[in-house]
Amino acid sequence: MVVRYWYSWGVDEHGQPQAAVKDRPCVILKVAGEGKDRRVALAPITHSEPKAPGQGVKLSPKTQARLQLDARPQWLVTNHVNECAWPSPDLEPVRGSNPPQWSLGVVPHAIGREAARQVRRERDLGRLIRIRRDRTQERPRDQGRER
């Protein structure tokens, strides 16, 4: 499933996730646990081409259109994930949905399988970057508002 999520790309000097600057489409790659113990791993979709082969899966224009993404080339990143409790307060509803909807859709099975294969390889090679998100962080649109 593809959702909009406030994705964090790194950690600060104390090992805490850096604040996300915007919400972005992300693919839920893994779900573990049940009820209040449920956790997910999310991988971002970005316009930036992967720096190395095998660290991202290019989305087709047809898939991008179905997921309501713009037409510029986009990749599902496979060497970087956020892990968090689910459901997460960092989840955003689909823009313009009323009542709120949470899913943009799903990626084709072939893309999901290839992404899972690449994530496993990155993990096995010790190159998978995992950002554990256990707390909601203030987001730009929340500045000055009570949470």
CATH of the domain at 104: 2.30.30.110
Report yes or no on 67 lying in a domain.
yes
Beta bridge partners, 64, equal none
Q: Which domain holds residue 26?
A: 2-138
- Per-residue pLDDT tens digits for 75-99: 999 999 999 999 899 999 998 999 9
% of the chain beyond a pLDDT of 70 = 91
Residue 83 inside a domain? The answer is yes
Number of domains in the chain: 1
Residues of the chain with pLDDT under 50: 143-147
Residue 147 domain-assigned? no
The SS3 call for residue 66 is helix
| Total-model pTM | 0.87
Q: How many CA atoms lie within 13 A of 4 on its CB side?
A: 16
Please give the Cα distance from 139 to 22 (Å, whole number): 8
Backbone CA torsion sign across 41, 46, 50, 53: positive
What are the strands, taking DSSP E only, across 67-116? Answer: 75-77, 80-85, 91-92
